[in-house]
């Protein structure tokens, strides 16, 4: 039974990778760099984007694809940013999946003006497990981890931390009120992904968000060091 | 393609329910009440259990089954409680699933002294989507939602909130330092599950944890009002 299950999973991931490559070709044809942004629920992906994209990135036109099980709460929040935003729900038609996959992203490509953007940020469903397993055609992966989630998360969800080039450590304005041991968190992160860039940020106070903006702009310009 | 997928999902859930009933019969035979405890990663399930089970529940012997993708961090933390704790990992043998299902729980029954406990708390994998879809043979479901996750979570993950009899609103010691609007959160919770009991708790200060202990003891005694 387990062997059959593994085969089914392998086939699903194979099919996913085929569609991810097709997405990648479409993005390349339009000169669009793509960031897959992931986190646990409530870590602050949307808040960070609201903060980072409040002003245009110099020379980089951004679009956002919002992934959620259902609803349009996050895309409604981003509407005021004056960047193209499309909502992708996994519930109607995709079985309420806990992650985005390449086929879902493909279904949303028509909702995005690819010819008018340089960088597409795909905000994945809030989940530290399955989103890491599915490539969607992205160039780059980043994740948000909030200091309120505890130090042990890199060890408990290693695939997610291992698959990202950038870990945004969010809500650092709360550090004085928590028992969170940043040194221990970074030690765990080093154990699973010593190469990950890491940024201390607060979407609430704006601290560290300029560095994230520069990183986003570099991804959007497809600077070789990053991609 | 989508229709096939829906069929596969239905079949998987059917098989899961069959095994969940078998688990239920085994639990009943041993007189064990079972709580399925769920949350997003880092919401504080383990910390709440550490706090709530630091002293024995009067007249109710508790055991804990810890569900994680990998590692034994949570069961190690609970080892000092002097209650039986078993670790169930979804990674080796179960494909790194993002949730527990009935078959996984069944595979762990032999690791638990069912004849020596009255209440089994199953701490699910941290995830607000898939754990809600799989019954594991439990009597009761509770979830932890931390105030640091934002007010919108009931609307974004309605199945999870709808399926639980109790919502523990954790980390309330942080409320003075957050923009979290508790009234708005409760309004959203009422929209998706007006019947859910709700408790304001802090695993850090212990506030509200006595009420959770009483609720746990009532589940363990299988009091009719709760089950």
The confidence score (pLDDT) of residue A94 equals: 78
The confidence score (pLDDT) of residue B180 equals: 97
Rg (CA), chain B: 17
DSSP designation for A102: H
Please name the residue of chain A whose CA is at the shortest distance from the CA of residue B3: A93
The confidence score (pLDDT) of residue B223 equals: 79
Average pLDDT over residues B159-176: 98
Measured on CA atoms in the order B97, B98, B104, B109, is the torsion positive or negative?
Answer: positive
CA-based max dimension of chain B? 54
The confidence score (pLDDT) of residue A1 equals: 44
The answer, yes or no, to whether residue A3 has pLDDT greater than 90, is no
Average pLDDT over residues A55-81: 94
Residue B162 backbone dihedrals phi, psi, to 5 degrees = -75, -30
Q: Which helix (H) or strand (E) holds B110?
A: none
For A66-75, the pLDDT digits (tens) are: 999 999 999 9
Contact A128 B70 (CB under 8 A): no
The confidence score (pLDDT) of residue B1 equals: 43
Tell which wins on pLDDT, A206 or B82.
A206
The confidence score (pLDDT) of residue B93 equals: 74
Tell which wins on pLDDT, B203 or B4.
B203
The confidence score (pLDDT) of residue B160 equals: 97
Average pLDDT over residues A35-52: 98
Average pLDDT over residues B71-97: 90
For A10-29, the pLDDT digits (tens) are: 777 889 999 999 999 999 99
The answer, yes or no, to whether residue B220 has pLDDT greater than 50, is yes
Token pair 């990648």: residue: A24
> Which residues in chain B are contacts of A152 at CB distance < 8 A?
73
Tell which wins on pLDDT, B128 or B12.
B128
Contact A156 B126 (CB under 8 A): yes
- Give me the percent of chain B exceeding a pLDDT of 90: 87
The answer, yes or no, to whether residue A198 has pLDDT greater than 70, is yes
Q: In what order do the strands lie in the sheet with B33-39?
A: B85-89, B62-68, B119-123, B33-39, B140-146, B166-170, B197-200
The residue among B129, B155, B158, B178 with the most chain A CBs within 10 A of its CB, best to mutate, is: B129
The answer, yes or no, to whether residue A201 has pLDDT greater than 60, is yes
Measured on CA atoms in the order A49, A55, A60, A62, is the torsion positive or negative?
Answer: positive
- Residue B68 CA to residue B71 CA, distance in Å, equals 7
- Residue A11 CA to residue B88 CA, distance in Å, equals 26
Q: Which two tokens stand for residue A165?
A: 């080039």
Please name the residue of chain A whose CA is at the shortest distance from the CA of residue B5: A95
Q: How many CB atoms lie within 10 A of CB B10?
A: 11
**pTM to 2 decimals?**
0.94
Residue B77 backbone dihedrals phi, psi, to 5 degrees = -65, -35
Q: Which two tokens stand for residue A7?
A: 């085969």
Mean pLDDT of chain A: 94
* B11 band by pLDDT with thresholds 50, 70 and 90: confident
Mean pLDDT of chain B: 93
Interface of B with A (CB under 8 A): 2, 5-6, 9, 40-42, 68-71, 73, 93-98, 125-130, 133, 146, 148-150, 152-153, 155-159, 171, 173-174, 177-179, 204
The confidence score (pLDDT) of residue A95 equals: 78
The residue among B3, B41, B203 with the most chain A CBs within 10 A of its CB, best to mutate, is: B41
The answer, yes or no, to whether residue B227 has pLDDT greater than 60, is no
Average pLDDT over residues B84-95: 88
Please name the residue of chain A whose CA is at the shortest distance from the CA of residue B42: A149
For B16-57, the pLDDT digits (tens) are: 999 999 999 999 999 999 999 999 999 999 999 999 999 999
* A82 band by pLDDT with thresholds 50, 70 and 90: confident
- Residue B151 CA to residue A141 CA, distance in Å, equals 27
Q: Which two tokens stand for residue A52?
A: 């980072």
Lowest mean pLDDT, pick from A68-77, A121-130, B162-171:
A68-77
Contact B42 A149 (CB under 8 A): yes
* A101 band by pLDDT with thresholds 50, 70 and 90: very high
- Give me the percent of chain A exceeding a pLDDT of 70: 94
Confirm whether the ipTM is greater than 0.85: yes
């Amino acid at each position: 039974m387990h062997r059959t299950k593994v085969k089914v999973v392998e086939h699903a991931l194979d099919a996913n990778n085929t569609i991810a490559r097709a997405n990648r070709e479409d993005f390349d044809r339009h000169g669009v760099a793509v960031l897959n942004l992931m986190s646990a629920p409530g870590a602050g992906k949307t808040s960070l984007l609201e903060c980072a994209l409040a002003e245009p990135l110099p020379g980089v036109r951004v679009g956002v694809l919002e992934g959620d099980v259902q609803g349009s709460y996050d895309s409604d929040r981003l509407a005021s940013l004056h960047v193209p935003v499309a909502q992708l729900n996994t519930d109607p038609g995709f079985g309420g999946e806990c992650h985005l996959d390449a086929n879902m992203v493909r279904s949303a490509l028509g909702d995005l003006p690819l010819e008018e953007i340089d960088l597409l940020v795909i905000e994945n469903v809030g989940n530290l497990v399955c989103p890491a397993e599915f490539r969607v055609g992205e160039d780059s992966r980043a994740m948000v981890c909030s200091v309120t989630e505890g130090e042990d998360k890199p060890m408990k969800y290693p695939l997610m931390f291992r698959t990202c080039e950038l870990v945004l450590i969010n809500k650092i304005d709360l550090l004085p009120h928590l028992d969170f041991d940043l040194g221990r968190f970074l030690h765990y992160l080093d154990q699973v992904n010593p190469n990950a860039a890491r940024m201390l940020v607060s979407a609430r106070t704006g601290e560290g968000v300029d560095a994230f903006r520069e990183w986003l702009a570099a991804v959007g310009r497809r600077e070789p060091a990053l991609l």
